[in-house]
Amino acid sequence: MNRKVTRWIIWTLVLTGILLITGASSLCIGSAGIPLREIVPLMRFGRGTTEYSILFDIRLPRIILGFAVGGALSLAGVILQGMFRNPLVEPYTLGISGGAALGVCLNTALRMSHATGSLSMPLSGFFGAVVIIAAVYSLSLRKGMLRIQQLLLTGVMISFISSSLIMLIMAVSRTEDLHGIIFWIMGSLQEPSWQLIKLTVIVSICGLAVSHLFCPDLNALSLGEEEALHLGINVERTKKLLFLLAAMLTGLSVSIAGIIGFVGLVVPHFVRLFLGGDHRILLIGSFLSGATFLILCDTLARTIISPMELPVGVITGILGGTLFVYALSKRRVLFGRS
């Protein structure tokens, strides 16, 4: 077997093992600590008990949603960084999160949840994300060609516009509505609907499978669009499909869990440093690492000041930003020596 393939298999198994250990630890850790050895007996004989409810009605849904959202955001980050050939691009750069947040803010301010029920928040967030995706896509399309630089600039500007509109809505909203808006914007994995959790898991795994079909295209695009064209890649079709795939993964994740920053930026960057730039391993490595990172951050968010809980976006921002600055400083030292 090829040495490179063997190395990829080993890394995949290692990352999968770390993910499983992190998930199992998160299931046990909390304000009410439950030893791992008691989980199996609780599954068999503990129905109706408080411990069973804590494990399988509160913690397990958060772990599964963290797996799906963390993997989807990291996957979207890898795709966009491959398209733009820039490791500093992240899913939220294109304004998708701003559109979703704007939809949720309008929902809260207009109190639409009274009419549409518990699904109104994620539906309004997803609708806002879809509107922004359509706007950015149409404004960046010229004569059938998707202009990458214009796509980035348009996304950044629309993100600023969305942020301004959100602040306007918050300024005129009722005091009782502000808490819901602010808490959602900071991100949370508290999702009571198993249907939405299952949908997010299915979409994220399908996104991983579909993205692997574009591994040769992403590897070719990393050399530049002209080189990719010479290698036989249909560059325009590939850019459009990859943008839509990354946008839908981001839009769904944001509409379900709120704005959880730095996952799509930091995780692909670190995985690229360890595993290299080949998207055949980078995609699956980033997916597994992103899921692990978000589950870990959510565990910290609900235990660091227990019994109170922090928004998970606060933890990802602090931890992810600190790690990213550290990595940049170390790389600067290395470059200075070369």
Q: Which of 264, 304, 283, 268 is nearest to 211 (CA)?
A: 283
- pLDDT tens string 285-308: 999 999 999 999 999 998 888 778
Query: What is the gyration radius of the CA atoms in the chain, in angstroms?
Result: 21
Q: Please, which residues have CB within 8 angstroms of residue 215's CB and are 6 or more apart in sequence?
A: 278, 279, 280, 283
Alpha-carbon span 309 to 302, nearest angstrom: 5
pTM, full prediction: 0.89
Q: What does the chain come to in residues?
A: 338
All domains in the chain, ordered by first residue: 3-337 (1.10.3470.10)
Express the helix, strand and coil content of the chain in percent, nearest 5 each. Answer: 80, 0, 20
Using DSSP's 3-state secondary structure scheme, residue 233 falls into coil
What confidence score (pLDDT) does residue 117 get? 60
What's the token pair of residue 199? Answer: 């949908």
- pLDDT tens string 104-136: 888 888 877 655 566 777 888 888 888 888 888
Residue 80 contacts residue 91 (beta carbons within 8 Å):
yes
CA atoms within 13 A on the CB side of 251: 22
pLDDT 10s digit of each residue in the chain, 338 long? Answer: 578 888 899 999 999 999 999 999 998 887 777 777 777 777 777 677 777 788 888 889 999 999 999 999 999 999 998 888 887 788 888 888 888 888 888 888 887 765 556 677 788 888 888 888 888 888 888 877 778 888 888 888 988 898 899 889 888 888 777 877 887 788 888 866 888 899 899 999 999 999 999 999 999 988 888 888 888 888 888 988 998 899 889 888 888 888 888 898 889 988 988 888 899 999 999 999 999 999 999 999 988 887 788 889 889 989 888 888 877 776 543 333 43
The crossing angle, in degrees rounded to 10, of helices 263-275 and 312-337 is 40
